[in-house]
Copies of this chain bind each other. A is one copy, B any other.
Amino acid sequence: MKELILVKIGGNTIDDPPALARFLDDFARIAGPKILLHGGGKKATALAAQLGVPVHIVQGRRITDAATLDIAVMVYAGLINKNIVAGLQARSCPAVGLCGADAGCITAVKRPVKDVDFGFVGDIVLEKIDKDFFHSLLAQGITPVIAPLTHDGGGQLLNTNADTMASAVAVAMAALYDVRLIYCFEKRGVLRDVNDALSVIPELSAQEYEALKAQGAVSAGMIPKLDNAFSAIRQGVTQVAIGDARYLPAIVAGDTGGATRCV
């Protein structure tokens, strides 16, 4: 099968214009089919503060009320998504900005209320991801740029975690492509010693990850990301790399030590 590279970037790239410009240079140069999935960054929080929309946190989890959802849609699907798309066009990388509502490509279910009502938060329905729509764009040489919003099929937009969305899209596309998923974040990879930024674990298996987790050697912030990574691998994604967006060319080339490869 043909290789497809799916890259996810977060706030540390999105919120830093020179870092974003450099990332777009590197991303545009990736040969072959590729998909970009972006998170939200600090702009939505800043806009909410400017508009006096309070941040609701219940049991340590952020709640998406109607006003917060509107802000997410404006910032993620509007400001961030369209500026990235315009930036890729300028780099001769034809790109189309999408959220899950577009062509109904990523449908979700509003998270059921158990202990906490998360509000307008969507959990992706994996089997409803329209891989053929993404494939038709890729086959035309167009790169999908996806904002972390879905819809419920009944007209309601929903906020969705970008890491989870990247994993879900990678899994769906694994039916058609040899998918490599690259999670970019603020470190060079999963660190053996959290105090040593260069102690990157070059390769991590599911068994090794479970052992590290049992030892308490994986930081709390890394656990959802690595759970998503190994979930993607279990469901057919060829490789997941976790690293720093500044080293994207090395990660894409598969250079040793360029990132942590989950296998």
Could you list which residues of chain A lie within 8 angstroms of chain B, going by C-beta atoms? 50-51, 70, 73-79, 81-83, 85-87, 89-90, 94-99, 101-104, 136, 140, 142, 149, 151, 153-157
Which residue in B89, B95, B151 is a CB contact (below 8 Å) of A86? B151
Contact partners of A75 in chain B: CB under 8 A: 74, 78
Is A82 within 8 A of B149, CB to CB? yes
Instruction: Pull 18 A–B residue pairs with CB atoms less than 8 Å apart, ordered by A.
Output: A73-B78, A74-B78, A75-B78, A77-B78, A77-B82, A77-B97, A78-B81, A82-B101, A82-B157, A85-B101, A86-B151, A86-B155, A86-B156, A87-B155, A89-B104, A96-B98, A96-B102, A96-B103
Copy tally for this chain in the complex stands at 2
A246 to B167, CA, bound (A): 43
Contact partners of A151 in chain B: CB under 8 A: 85-86, 89
Contact partners of A86 in chain B: CB under 8 A: 101, 151, 155-157
Which residue in B76, B79, B155 is a CB contact (below 8 Å) of A89? B155
A73 to B77, CA, bound (A): 9
Is A94 within 8 A of B104, CB to CB? yes
Interface of A is mostly: helix
A218 to B106, CA, bound (A): 47
A56 to B42, CA, bound (A): 28
Q: Which residue of B lies closest to A150 (CB)?
A: B86
Contact partners of A140 in chain B: CB under 8 A: 136
Q: How far is the CB of A232 from chain B (nearest CB, A)?
A: 26
Most buried by B among A78, A81, A151: A78
A87 to B73, CA, bound (A): 14
A90 to B79, CA, bound (A): 25
A154 to B73, CA, bound (A): 25
